[in-house]
Amino acid sequence: MFETPTETAAATGAFPAVRPRRARRTAGLRRMARETRLSPDMLVLPLFGIDGEGREEPIDALPGHSRLSPDLLAARARRAHDAGIPAVLIFGVTDVKDAAASMASASDGPTQRAVAAAKEAAPELVVITDVCLCGFMDHGHCGVVVDDEVHNDLSLELLAQTAVSHAQAGADVVAPSDMMDGRVAALRAALDAEGHAQTAILSYAAKYASAFYGPFREAAGSAPGFGDRRGYQMDPANAREAVREMTLDVGEGADMVMVKPAATYLDVIRAGREAVDVPVAAYHVSGEYSMIKAAAERGWLDERAAAMETLTAMARAGADVIVTYHAEDVVRWLEETP
């Protein structure tokens, strides 16, 4: 018996028997066949803490976000937890800056007070803290400066002290973002020595010297007073180096690693996911968020569609965790999806 053209096509996996569009025909079919699924469980909401009470300072470059005093930050953290977001990432913001970043590790510093307030308001919430010195240094760099250069080894002790102070305030996870060599090992040793062996480390292992940090620097008051950060943050042209950084940090004791920024570094997320066995986080940074917001405000694109597509791409690349200023929006959008 002779085969029909359709039978021959089916045997060879060709049109017209094979029609991939069948699985895209309806919303229900598309949901069934979806390979990558965003979930609230993946999300981390960044928050900016300042001193005072009842203080809210809207951040022009980050629409929908403000610098918040501990009481208001705690309420925002509780709201995020109640919405199903499992974690927040806290950045302390201060006007009190000096050459030793004293407020970075102060027990009554803005980060420490924000952590304590968030944990009291939502004990089950995972509180992550950014461990860096730039927002607390009078020169705006991420470490100790000697002769106009950031000194790697002298910076490690201050970073370790800062991480310990965050753990003492109640942080569940500390996240060093400074890009000093050896900082993960230094933090792990200090945390363990001070009785915080259970405090996890999420390393900004592959943090690039990116053009997409502008809105954040306005929010945190962390722009460098001279030069730039290319001497310690990564060259955007390098991917193999990022894998090396992630592997080194895991070897030093990192429980999780991060790629920052995310949208323009999907290949690095994928490479990291294949190279290490710990969770990989992606930071959808301020500039990436603000570009979507600005274009949406002008009617140039649909904010929801653009944000969800961007974040789905990060998950598709291999991110287990996504830090995003859109976190609360994403939860609402997922609930609204039929």
How would residue 225 be classed by pLDDT, with cut points 50, 70 and 90? Answer: low
Stronger pLDDT, 241 or 139, i.e. the higher one: 241
Q: Is the pLDDT of residue 205 over 90?
A: yes
- Calpha distance 191→180 (Å, rounded): 17
Do residues 73 and 117 lie in contact, with contact meaning Cβ atoms separated by under 8 Å?
A: yes
How would residue 216 be classed by pLDDT, with cut points 50, 70 and 90? Answer: confident
Token readout for 223 is 């722009």
In this prediction, residue 7 carries a pLDDT of 60
Positive or negative: CA dihedral 205, 64, 162, 41: negative
Length of the chain: 338
| Residue 293 is among the residues annotated as catalytic for this protein | no
Q: Is the pLDDT of residue 1 over 80?
A: no
How would residue 4 be classed by pLDDT, with cut points 50, 70 and 90? Answer: low
In this prediction, residue 139 carries a pLDDT of 83
Rg (CA), the chain: 22
In this prediction, residue 232 carries a pLDDT of 86
Q: Is the pLDDT of residue 2 over 60?
A: no
- Calpha distance 97→133 (Å, rounded): 10
Tell me: the pLDDT tens digits for 231-256? 889 999 999 999 999 999 999 999 99
Catalytic site residue from 97, 119, 207, 293: 207
**Residue 7 placed within a domain:** no
How would residue 35 be classed by pLDDT, with cut points 50, 70 and 90? Answer: very high
Q: How far apart are the first and last CA of the chain?
A: 48
Do residues 260 and 283 lie in contact, with contact meaning Cβ atoms separated by under 8 Å?
A: yes
Looking at the chain, the whole-number percentage of residues with pLDDT higher than 70 is 95
Q: Is the pLDDT of residue 214 over 80?
A: yes
Q: Is the pLDDT of residue 9 over 90?
A: no
Arithmetic mean of pLDDT, 129-156: 88
- Calpha distance 95→93 (Å, rounded): 7
Arithmetic mean of pLDDT, 301-318: 98
pTM of the full structure:
0.93
| Residue 97 is among the residues annotated as catalytic for this protein | no
Q: Is the pLDDT of residue 153 over 90?
A: yes
- E runs forming strands in the chain: 43-49, 56-58, 66-68, 87-92, 126-131, 144-146, 149-151, 173-176, 200-207, 256-260, 280-284, 321-324
- Calpha distance 252→246 (Å, rounded): 10
**Residue 64 placed within a domain:** yes
**Residue 31 placed within a domain:** no
**Residue 212 placed within a domain:** yes
The DSSP secondary structure of 139-195, one letter per residue, reads T--SSEEETTEEEHHHHHHHHHHHHHHHHHHT-SEEEE-S--TTHHHHHHHHHHHTT
Name the residue range of residue 174's domain.
37-336
**Residue 169 placed within a domain:** yes
**Residue 297 placed within a domain:** yes
Tell me: the pLDDT tens digits for 80-124? 999 999 999 999 999 999 989 999 999 999 999 999 999 999 999
The one-character DSSP state at 26 is: S
How would residue 208 be classed by pLDDT, with cut points 50, 70 and 90? Answer: very high
Peptide bond into 215 cis (omega under 30): no
Count of structural domains, the chain: 1
Distance of alpha carbon 210 from the chain centroid:
14
- Calpha distance 111→127 (Å, rounded): 11
- Calpha distance 335→210 (Å, rounded): 33
The one-character DSSP state at 42 is: G
For residue 239, what are the CA distances in angstroms to 26, 92, 234, 244? Answer: 39, 30, 9, 9
For residue 297, what are the CA distances in angstroms to 169, 217, 312? Answer: 39, 22, 22
Catalytic site residue from 97, 119, 260, 293: 260
Tell me: the pLDDT tens digits for 159-187? 999 999 999 999 999 999 999 999 999 99
- Calpha distance 161→127 (Å, rounded): 18
CATH number of domain containing 282: 3.20.20.70
**Residue 20 placed within a domain:** no
Other Cβ atoms within 10 Å of 193 Cβ, number: 11
**Residue 15 placed within a domain:** no
